[in-house]
Structure 1
Amino acid sequence: MASIYDMLAEQRIADALRRGDFDHLPGAGKPLMPDDEALVPPEQRMANTILRNAGFCPPEIGLRKEIARLRSEIAGLAEGARRTALRRRLALLILQMAETKR
């Protein structure tokens, strides 16, 4: 059963909607971005936000970006020594990625 505070809050929100108080908010009419950290504890979310804002990222993210970059570069190359070297580097990074998941 909803408390009196819940009912009061719902009533005030409904009144504000009828008056159009929410019509000109930033992002109105746009889809909400899903919260990627919905299952992460609040303390960890705070630490993640601080690290992300400071420009830090987990090593796995860097590996994923490098793997994607190499795949794209390899796709544009013809067979040759450069392509072979990049494929070896890609295989090494994929192995490193598998090791980080253990």
Structure 2
Amino acid sequence: MGWGPFPFPGESEVDWVALVAEARIEEAMKEGRFDNLPGRGKPLQLKEYPFVPARLRVPYKILHDAGLAPAWIQRSQTLAELEERIGQVMEEHLAWLAREREAQERLAAQGTASSREQARARLELARRAHGHAVAQVRELMEARNRALDQFNQMVPNILWQKGRWSIPERLARFEAACRDAFPGLTAGAGPPSSAATPPPGTPLPPSGGGPEGEGDG
């Protein structure tokens, strides 16, 4: 069943979309599409549909669980997942940089030739890892904008369309936050008062024993 571009006379477009959703639910009930769904007879556990008006989330949840959700609702979930992933990657990277800074401070406090060498090696590792993180965030943001373009073409109400992200602007803010978390990322800077615990799976330089070899957990 198509969603159609126009409301019925005397009805708003949002009401018309709700009417179509209710009709599809009634049709699916007659066909027994809801008979064996997980959680039948229990209160609805509504997922977040940030691109769906709040008053329509219950019918869309029902349609989604029955495999009847329209394509633009599926695309809205992809958008939400991408945005959540972007936020997660940025938060994890900022937390890692904060641990790197603390590790550099411990190495600087030792004041030995060995600790200074370890600090330089860890700083280089941190800068490489940072470059990978920025590239990953950029790719995710580009994927988000592509998914948004598709969503805006599918959505039945132009008022539900969303704006594209300015990737250079968002990346600039992210990198500024990263420099605040770990000033040593700035090109040309020496080992700052911080140290590096690389992301999981990244090999560390030899610790040579002592506090600098301990993980930051």
Higher RCO, Cα 8 Å, sep 6+: 2
Could you tell me the TM-score, scaled by structure 2's length?
A: 0.20
Q: TM-score, normalised by structure 1?
A: 0.37
Q: Which has the larger radius of gyration?
A: 2
